[in-house]
Amino acid sequence: MANNYYDAADLRKFGKITEWSEELGNKFFEYYGKVFEEGALSAREKSLIALAVAHVVKCPYCIDAYTKDGLQKGITKEEMMEAVHAGAAIESGATLVHGVQMMNKYDKLSM
Amino acid sequence: MATKSLKARQDELAQTNKQLEILDGGIFADGELPYFKDKISEIGHFPLRPKKLEILQINVGYMCNQVCEHCHVDAGPDRKEIMTKETMYQCLEIIKTTGAHTLDLTGGAPEMNPNFRWFVEEASKAGIKDFIVRSNLTIIRANKKYFDLPEFFKKHNVHVISSMPHYTRGKTDKQRGDGVFDKSIKALQELNAVGYGMPDSNLRLDLVYNPSGAFLPGDQMAMEKDFKKALLEDFNIQFHNLFAITNLPISRFLDYLIASENYEDYMYALVEAYNPAAVANVMCTNTISISWDGWLYDCDFNQMLGLKVASKIKHIKDYNEDILNDRNIIISQHCYGCTAGAGSSCQGTVA
């Protein structure tokens, strides 16, 4: 076993998770495939959402996968970076909006 | 971007046996990935056999005004392999008698062959249904002697198929060289101006998209939609169809894959995307590729790998379509490029 937690080559083995739980694994991949099909949102839009989420959940496998997926779909690097910023803005916004809770608590405890 | 061909750089990969060694060795020899032969055996397609001949693809020379990073021909200004008029005469004899409905001229930049115009004029008299010239676009703007090419193509009712890696400048120039995007846009506008690519025009103008890096092309229809929208909105350019073509791991693209440490991942991606439904329609089953010096190949890629047809007819001087069609197609691991996803051919997807 590798002496590190992440190995880029492990992404290729993702499908193997079905080996230890076939039904759930298959259901997951079927769902996953369906989600990224062309629908009310285009496959291109979904790819950018996935890229943004990949960064927010800090998943190196997903970042590799959706950078490549974006390239395949002709998405430009400017579009990719804007998607990452959209994710980052929500993430930092989520932190900052808790500032209101802090302010509320501060005010309540203060004379 | 490279400025010289692998051949001019005397790079080891300019040797076809070196490329074949790589394609047969490594992850395939280790058993990590299956050989193409084994994959197509599973569905009863080995040996791969030709169907009816539909396309004669003639490579009139490896000389080109560009040195694209991904070029499977290893073409460039330093390549001197050019089809002679004598060989063209032999090709014309074949064109007159072939059962193929499509004639496909490629290169290099075919327009750089000094006898290109004469050959087009003669070949267009043969009554071929679809007469394609693969033009890299920038050649039309490279020198004033080429400025009238759109009119020339129109006069001979040539079907123009042009490479256009992306509808943005950055991506195009990175793959093909500085200034290629602007010249290509100008050339497309000139083709449009004489009627090429217009919605109801019989003057066919199709574009070829191939990825500018170690990834596979996306969905052809979706890409076409994006290209059409962007080129029309930004440059008022119209075209008919977009062909999404997968880069095959040979020649300069193989060199790029190895140098950028993407080779193994790319081969994994190709094998993973293997689509059995694409196998029956791969282009080697309906095409014959003729090299600048008259040798016959199953496809342009096999030509660049030096893999002449497995037939007693190996050269146009002995050409016989019936005997030639009764052959086994030569395959190696580069063939995974034509069976990935929706499949890939010089005419776009096949599945």
With CB atoms and an 8 Å threshold, state whether A43 touches B219. Answer: yes
With CB atoms and an 8 Å threshold, state whether B219 touches A71. Answer: no
Cα–Cα distance for residue pair B271/B33, rounded to 1 Å: 7
pLDDT in tens, B282-329: 999 999 999 999 999 999 999 999 999 999 999 999 999 999 999 999
Residues 6+ apart with CB under 8 A from B194: B150, B151, B154, B203
**What percentage of residues in chain B have a pLDDT greater than 90?**
91
Residue B21: pLDDT over 80: yes
* 3-class secondary-structure state, position A51: helix
What is the CATH topology of the domain spanning A19-109? AhpD-like (1.20.1290)
Structure-derived torsion over alpha carbons of residues B309, B311, B313, B315, reported in degrees to the nearest 10: 20
With CB atoms and an 8 Å threshold, state whether B226 touches A42. Answer: no
Residues 6+ apart with CB under 8 A from B158: B120, B124, B131, B132, B133, B152
Q: Which two tokens stand for residue B164?
A: 């256009």
Q: Where are the domains of chain B?
A: 12-338
Give the confidence band of B127 by pLDDT, cuts at 50, 70, 90: confident
Q: Where are the domains of chain A?
A: 19-109
Selecting from A44, A68, A76 the residue whose C-beta is nearest the C-beta of B222 gives: A44
pLDDT in tens, A6-64: 999 899 999 999 999 999 999 999 999 999 999 999 999 999 999 999 999 999 999 99
Q: Which of B167, B212, B224, B265 to mutate to test the interface with A (most CBs of A within 10 A)?
A: B265
B32 touches chain A (CB under 8 A): no
pLDDT in tens, A66-103: 999 999 999 999 999 999 999 999 999 999 999 999 99
Residue B150: pLDDT over 60: yes
Give the confidence band of B82 by pLDDT, cuts at 50, 70, 90: very high
Give the confidence band of B35 by pLDDT, cuts at 50, 70, 90: very high
**What is the DSSP secondary-structure string of B297-349?**
ESSHHHHHTT-B-BSS--BGGG--HHHHHSSBPP--GGGGGGSBTT--BTTB-
DSSP code, position B248: P
Residue A1: pLDDT over 70: no
With CB atoms and an 8 Å threshold, state whether B226 touches A72. Answer: no
Is the entire prediction scored with pTM above 0.80? yes
Cα–Cα distance for residue pair B13/B30, rounded to 1 Å: 22
B81 touches chain A (CB under 8 A): no
| Mean of pLDDT over chain B | 94
Q: How many CB atoms lie within 10 A of CB B321?
A: 16
What is the CATH topology of the domain spanning B12-338? TIM Barrel (3.20.20)
pLDDT in tens, B173-200: 777 777 889 999 999 999 999 999 999 9
Give the confidence band of B27 by pLDDT, cuts at 50, 70, 90: very high
Give the confidence band of B2 by pLDDT, cuts at 50, 70, 90: low
What is the predicted pLDDT for the residue at B1? 57
pLDDT in tens, B243-277: 999 999 999 999 999 999 999 999 999 999 999 99
